[in-house]
Amino acid sequence: MKAEIITIGDEILIGQIIDSNSAWIAQQLKELGIKIYQITSISDSPEHITKAISDAETHADIIIITGGLGPTKDDLTKETLAKYFNTKLVFNKTVFEKNKELLGKRKIKMNELNTKQAELPENCIILNNTNGTAQGMLFEKNKKTIVSLPGVPFEMKKIITEEFIPFIQKKYKTTSLYHKTVMTQGVPESELSLKIEDWENNLPKDIKLAYLPKPGIVRLRLTGTAEKKKNIAKKIDEEIKKLQKIIPDNIFGYNDISLEEVIKNIFTEKNKTLATAESCTGGNVAKLLTSISGSSKYFKGSVVAYSNEIKSKILDVNKNTLNKYGAVSKQVVTEMAENIIKKFNTDYSIAISGIAGPTGGTTEKPVGTTWIAIADKISVDTYKFSFGEHRGRNITRATLTSLNLLRLKIIKN
């Protein structure tokens, strides 16, 4: 079974907003075993809307349209659909009363435009929108299912979840699709592919592997289909157990959990504390850690020591160490990590110093050279990396690498 998603709106075409709706809808359909044939973005034009639907009918069984259902004059989807399906707009009293009640709760008076939201194509199946005044509309034509939904994400998502998916499951025999994502850090995509090549080549035929890389992290998504989801879930879990033996230090979690959330869970469970001393990352480690609710239970704080003066005066890094070895060195990050633990009285620390770029590199220390130290009250482990030439990616990679190294140190203690 194939589907096409059509997004309507000039604001998408000119780049004013990003089409996040299509990505979310595609994920929901994939869970049902429905293949996305195409995603199309079009303008608020009756001719464009009509042509897009007509074209989609030639290759898709299900067509999902979002946008163009607002109360203003530039929203023309409803009128265009009524004409396309050879019907007329009729006033629906039930929808009117529902909308009146909803707007009343929001202290908004009904006006002429809001009233017109209750006018709907006579031959459509109404999909109730409890979060807004624009109702979803479902049409059936030549064994095709065409649905039109509001473009407001929280309205669209509720209609899809509560109205559309149950309809599809009842009408079509859908296959259970199961995904599990393995989160990895510390090995680039190409190198990771070589490491797990034999495992990948021996995956069962009904399990597919996809590499989903982004700076500092590679997600491995395993997808399987079966009549019963629990059967394929068990099969995928068995394959992941084999993978864990191949790259045990690189797997930090599953199903899109973030490293900062993993760190929070480990530290709160073990009742340990953490502080950071950052130079080239400019506080990015602390930013990620504190983005997770509950981080105050373990994270005490950070010193962003960007200059040598601050490294010396605030972090007590020996001036002789700085002069002899330079800020980007094993010796300096070691002192940074040791001293931040003492100052903040924590169980663990992270220290980072590097050359983020694009300037500042030398022959001995090119752009991307980064030293990371992970310390507890007994020992300091230091690591040298060459992350590349792109400043933003260097900061991201240094941040994520430091968190994974911290994770490994605390779970092995």
Q: Which two tokens stand for residue 368?
A: 């991307």
- 300: part of which helix (H) or strand (E)? strand 299-304
**CA–CA gap between residue 244 and residue 1 (Å, rounded):** 35
pTM: 0.74
pLDDT of residue 374: 98
Kindly state the average pLDDT of the residues 254-259: 95
Is the separation of the CB atoms in 373 and 358 below 8 Å? Answer: no
> Using an 8 Å Cβ cutoff, are 187 and 45 in contact?
no
pLDDT score recorded for residue 228: 64
Split at pLDDT 50, 70, 90, the class of 161 is very high
Q: Residues with Cβ < 8 Å from 246, sequence gap 6 or more?
A: 195, 196, 199
Question: Given pLDDT bands bounded at 50, 70 and 90, which one contains residue 176?
Answer: low
Q: Does the pLDDT at position 204 exceed 90? A: yes
Average pLDDT across the chain, whole number: 94
pLDDT score for 383: 98
First to last CA, the chain: 51
The burial of 235, by beta-carbon neighbours within 10 Å (0-12 exposed, 13-18 middle, 19 or more buried), is given as middle
| Most confident of the following: 11-20, 174-183, 366-375 | 366-375
Indicate the range of 75-89, 153-167, 214-228, 344-358 predicted with least confidence. Answer: 214-228
363 Cβ contact list (under 8 Å, min separation 6): none
DSSP string, 12-49: HHTTSS--HHHHHHHHHHHHTT-EEEEEEEE-S-HHHH
Q: In 129-273, which ranges are E strands? A: 136-141, 144-149, 176-185, 207-214, 217-226, 251-254
Asked if residue 363 lies in contact with residue 289, where contact means CB atoms within 8 angstroms, the answer is: no
- The answer to whether residue 174 scores a pLDDT higher than 80 is no
Full set of structural domains in the chain with CATH: 2-171 (3.40.980.10), 176-254 (3.30.70.2860), 260-412 (3.90.950.20)
Kindly give, in sequence order, each residue whose CB lies less than 8 Å from that of residue 48, ignoring residues fewer than 6 positions away. 42
Q: What is the mean pLDDT of residues 243-271?
A: 97
Ranking 41-50, 165-174, 282-291 by mean pLDDT, the lowest is: 165-174
Please state, in angstroms and rounded to a whole number, the distance separating the CA atoms of residues 390 and 246. Answer: 30
Residue 226 has pLDDT above 70, yes or no: no
User: What's the CA gap between 151 and 65, in Å, rounded?
Assistant: 9
What is the model's pLDDT at position 211? 95
69: nearest Cα among 145, 170, 146, 152: 152
- Whether the predicted pLDDT of 227 surpasses 70: no
Contacts (Cβ under 8 Å, ≥6 apart) of 15: none
Query: Amino acid identity, residue 137?
Result: M
Closest by alpha carbon to 129, among 105, 104, 153?
Answer: 153
